[in-house]
Amino acid sequence: MEPNNFKTKKRVLIGLFLVAAGILLFAFKMGAPLPAWIFTWPVALIAIGLLVCLKHNFNNPGGLILILIGSMNLIDHMYPGYRFHTFIAPVIIIVIGLIFIFRSGKYAKFRPNMHDDEVNNIYPSLSDRNNDNRNDDADYINSVSVFGGVKKNILSKNFRGGEITCFMGGAEFNLSQADIKSQVVLEVTQVFGGTKLIVPANWYIKTEAVTVFGGIEDKRPIQSGNINYEKTLILIGTTVFGGIDIRSY
């Protein structure tokens, strides 16, 4: 886990951010000569994006996307003649494409609440995989779906995580016959897409992912007494306008 002082600093920064926003709103309601655009929905979107970035040390694309959308709409509010909102869709698509390119294959880029030694123990390393003489590709998920869908059954008894990327597409992975020997990490990045995971009922699912206008739902039957915490699946990544559906048979 992160050192307590580092976690405390992040909470203090987020708290100061919220206090400042509340003071500004209070002053505006009391008649202070503040510009009205400060309290528009684009500024709120920028603020949410900043909070997401602060929480994840500016290493999460979800917050950056929110800041981008809010900024371009804010320019329209301040200077109506520029019509920047007409360029939002292509700019977002370009930014998402660049994110996918530069993040390709980097499992440990988003490292939720862990030291480097913990990351090395839990996150699969591409260099380790490339140097492994065994053909263990079946132990990993490495899926990209764009304007389409992916549906696979995973049968590995030594499942070691992987990456799922969806852009205006979907993915479904059936892990009900798979097994894990320790904690594994699955990174899910999706924009206008969805992922369905079918996992054994006794796995513990730990969620470290960021969702923006989306959600993560664990729809498995409640079996608190049968959960095996040694078999932990950690979900990381970013979901924008999408969702992750977790089920078991």
For the chain, the domains span 4-103, 116-247
Whole-number Å distance between alpha carbons of 84 and 223: 51
pTM above 0.85, yes or no: no
Of 15 and 161, the one with more pLDDT: 161
Q: How far apart are CA 76 and CA 95, in angstroms?
A: 20
Digit-coded pLDDT (tens) for 104-159: 544 444 344 444 444 444 444 334 444 443 334 578 898 888 888 889 999 999 99
Average model confidence (pLDDT) across the chain: 76
pLDDT in tens, 201-217: 889 999 888 787 788 88
Query: Which one, of 131, 133, 195, 118, lies nearest residue 162 by Cα?
Result: 195
| pLDDT for res 186 | 92
Residue-wise burial string across 51-61, b where 16 or more C-beta atoms lie within 10 A, e elsewhere: bbbebbeeebb
Tens digits of per-residue pLDDT, 5-60? 655 666 777 788 788 888 988 888 888 888 878 888 888 888 888 877 777 676 66
